[in-house]
Structure 1
Amino acid sequence: MRTSLGEDGRSAAPAGDRVALVLCTRDRPEFLAGALDALQRVLPETVEVIVVDSGSVTDATRRVADRDGIRYVRSDIPGLSIARNAGVAATTREIVVFTDDDCELQPDAIERLTAPFAASTVGAVTGRLRDHSDTSDAEPPPARVLSDTRDGLAAGHGALMAFRTALLRQLGGFDPVLGAGRDFGGAEDLDAFCRVLHSGSTVVQAPDAVVRHLFTRSDDDYIRLNSAYGRGIGAMARKWVAATGGEGRALTRLALRRAAVRLARRLGDSRARHGQWAYLRGFQDGYRRAGHLSVDGLVFRDQNPPAAVDLASSAPDTVTERGTA
């Protein structure tokens, strides 16, 4: 169910001292330097910024964070969900915002992203991801409130999202088996949105809160990415079926229907078509392989986490000057 956002949800953004921004990264100091430069230009000074190093093999990530005076947290166990959960554990702020190291936060994005939390029913808010090649100046669509669990599948993107910290912790954080760095390499953001909605809270789409994606993937990377996303959503679907029965089956049908529609719309584009086929094959693989995993509530039990990564010292010239990424 989708309804218009009422005025009570947009009255004012929480003060910056109630907000933490978590930026997870791994072995990409140049990207991190550029992302932090963009944040410095647009973030209110009172927002807490936390860089979470997801198992980098050198200390270059820490040196970028230290140079900019940013709080640094390291997880020796790699995985995006694991890193995000480390960021959640590291803050005492009421609202936690997430963005990526290959994204550039746009002016006023934090204020617009956090304003809907003025309504006590809001558990999460998502912003809008724009590609660096998108030069359109069209007005963004209006904000929307989502309340049905299935709406989480189209609620937004992990590149710009915010949660009530206490609620996210209560729900078990991000599923550590899902997301980049794991075999089921996607859907950890969609899974979190669905769990927020399942809990009875709402998710708000705030398309006037914008982050710009600065990185274009090669065709091979694009296929691998779609395959990983497919495995993630397939595993997520299997988990929801195991945990909730009918609700999970409804999620699965919707996910497959949306994938089929995307494929039909992209048949004329060879790159997109191959990407969607990779996604569907990945979905089947993820659904099958997730059948043997145990579930605690609505989160997979991480019985085989990645091996810890030893941190080695890196040469100083591995870190570029801030803003050159």
Structure 2
Amino acid sequence: MGVADLDLDLDLDLDLDPGPGTNPDRAPDRAPDLGPGGKPHVLSLTPAPGGPPLRAGALFALVRLRGRPVATLLTTVPDGADPVGVLVTAFRAQYGQHGQHHAETGELSGAPPRTTVVVATRERADRLGRALDSLLAQDHPDFHVVVVDNAPVTTATRELVDEVYAGRVTYVHEPVPGLAVAHNRGVAATDSPVVAFTDDDVVADPRWLSALTAPFAADPRTGCVTGLILPARLTTPAQVLLESHGGFAKGFAPRLYDPAAPPADEPLFPFTAGSFGSGANMAFRTSALRAVGGFDPATGTGTPARGGDDLYAFVRILAAGHRLRYTPDALVWHHHRETWQDLRNQAYGYGAGLTAYLTAVLCRHPSLLPALLAKLPRGLAHARAITTHRPGETGAGVPGMHGTHGHPWPRSLSRLERRGMLYGPLGYARARWGIR
């Protein structure tokens, strides 16, 4: 499946119609002068970073309005059809004849503060280079990149940084395995007021870091910011299945989570940390993260807990009184795991990480136990809901829209998630014991 980035520079009542008249001096994937009266509104369609060339078949596209991500479209391009025209038609069907869409407001902006970007990695130098190239191309005015090599067995990562990125990227060795341990090592290596985290299997949008860190300058109560994660490519059934059920994306509306004004639509707040964001796209005010003790080293990939390090940090930041913001303007493209076994491991790990992080919160901060117990009945119902067998269905609007469950979620994966939930507290206990 092709993955594309569709950029619509629209005024109100702009009637999208690619039609004839593409300027031959421009790249063939651009159709200029789409607006009435010859106004030069440009529709562009380009493959996502690292994705396959666009061709006939299924096509997943990110739609931006005036540079801001607002929607995704999943459609089929017939043989011989123009992908731009097909996507414009799908966009019209979802958002109206004139392509009008009023993006959510409420985003805060400000001069992005000095930031350190931490990338934890282990024996994936081939993927790491792609991520580092995108990070070094950021438009942020003042940042530095730190690579934390977590329990390496070869020198491949060190050699990559030394030979290709010398002077531009700092290499740090962390011998103790575990994603949380590696992230804490990265925090210790920075003197920046903001520290951002992403993974070695992403490609960051050029504006990612600026969008992710600007809210810290605009709002002193902000302790954490998360962003949008979309697939870099959808070429295997496992990748398509994961993305059709939401993937890592948390929507296109900016969101503020404030412990002083808990959201009415989240009765389990703040314990539904999975709705706040994901570890591949997050940033913290460094002082706030250090004040809550950083990440719990007994959580995360690479430990018996299997995950939950990011969720633990989100809850700790909120419990300490800081605000958490989700901003879809901060975009990274994630290379999803490709095989069915990868997806099985991921489903089990998600379940384990969920209950492992809850166990970590209660072990380290028992004062939160009364609040959790009060919400436990709803929490159990929520756990059952998110792991239930989800039948295939057609969503409203454009059939096959991202997150509308166009593909059935197998019962076997639901069972694996539940088994992971049962294992999570044991996995966390094993990890704690190993640290001791």
TM-score of the two chains, using structure 2 as the length reference = 0.61
Match of 1:187 among 308, 319, 335: 308
For 2:306 and 2:330, how far apart are their aligned partners in 1? Answer: 26
Alpha-carbon offset, residue 55 of structure 1: 1.1
Matches within 5 A, 1:1-325: 10-15=108-113, 18-44=114-140, 46-66=142-162, 67-69=164-166, 70-117=169-216, 118-133=218-233, 141-148=252-259, 149-242=270-363, 243=366, 244-249=368-373, 253=377, 256-264=380-388, 266-268=390-392, 272-288=410-426, 290=428, 302-305=432-435
CA contact (8 A) 1:145 1:202 kept: yes
SS in 2 for 1:74: strand
TM-superposed deviation, 1:252 = 5.3
CA contact (8 A) 1:241 1:249 kept: no
C-alpha contact 2:105 2:254 (8 A) present in aligned 1: no
CA deviation after TM superposition for structure 1 residue 238, in Å: 2.7
Where do 5+ consecutive residues of structure 2 fail to align?
1-103, 235-242, 244-250, 260-269, 393-406
Contact kept? 2:389, 2:409, Cα under 8 Å: no
| Secondary structure, counterpart of 1:190 in structure 2 | helix
Output the CA distance in 2 between the equivalents of 1:216 and 1:283. Answer: 21
Secondary structure in structure 2 of the residue aligned to 1:91: coil
Distance in 1 of aligned mates of 2:272 and 2:384: 17
Q: Give the aligned CA root-mean-square deviation in angstroms.
A: 2.6
**1:198–1:143 distance in 2 versus 1, CA, 3 Å:** same
Q: Is the 8 A contact 1:96 1:163 kept in 2?
A: yes
Moved more, 36-45 or 113-122: 36-45
Q: Secondary structure at the match of 2:277?
A: coil
Q: Using the alignment, how far apart are the partners of 2:282 and 2:378 within structure 1? A: 22
CA 1:101–1:43 in structure 2 vs 1: closer, same or farther (change >3 Å)? farther
Tell me the distance in 1 between the aligned counterparts of 2:370 and 2:252: 32
Contact 1:55 1:78 in 2 (8 A): yes
Q: Rg larger in 1 or in 2?
A: 2
Q: Distance in 2 between matches of 1:272 and 1:123?
A: 37
Matched pairs, number: 288
Paired with 1:61 and 1:202, the residues of 2 have a C-alpha distance of 35
State the identity as a percent.
34
How far 1:199 sits from its partner (Å)? 0.4
Q: 1:202 to 1:272 in 2, by over 3 A?
A: farther
| Structure 1 portions without partners, runs of 5+ | 294-299, 307-325
Aligned-partner residue type, residue 64 of structure 1:
L
CA–CA distance in structure 1, aligned partners of residues 290 and 204 of structure 2: 25
| Contact 2:228 2:330 survives alignment (8 Å) | yes
Q: Is the 8 A contact 1:240 1:248 kept in 2?
A: no
Cα gap change, 1:130/1:289 in structure 2, threshold over 3 Å: closer, same or farther? closer
Using CA pairs below 8 Å that are at least 6 residues apart, which structure has the higher relative contact order?
A: 1
Query: 1:38 corresponds to which letter in structure 2?
Result: S
The letter for the 1-side match of 2:420 is G
Q: Which moved more, 1:265-274 or 1:278-287?
A: 265-274
Deviation for aligned residue 1:150: 2.9
Distance (whole Å) between structure 1 residues aligned to residue 153 and residue 281 of structure 2: 26
Residues 122-149 of structure 1, C-alpha deviation per residue, up to 9 Å, x if partnerless?
10000011012479xxxx6231111242
CA contact 1:259–1:276 (8 Å) conserved in 2 = no
* CA 1:289–1:112: 2 relative to 1, 3 Å: closer
Are the equivalent residues in 2 in contact too, given 1:77–1:305 (CA < 8 A)? no
**Residues 121 and 186 (structure 1 numbering): CA distance in 2 closer, same or farther, change over 3 Å?**
same
SS of the counterpart of 1:232?
Answer: helix
- Bigger mean CA deviation after superposition, 176-185 or 275-284: 275-284
Query: Aligned-pair distance for 1:14?
Result: 2.0
Shift of 1:107: 2.0
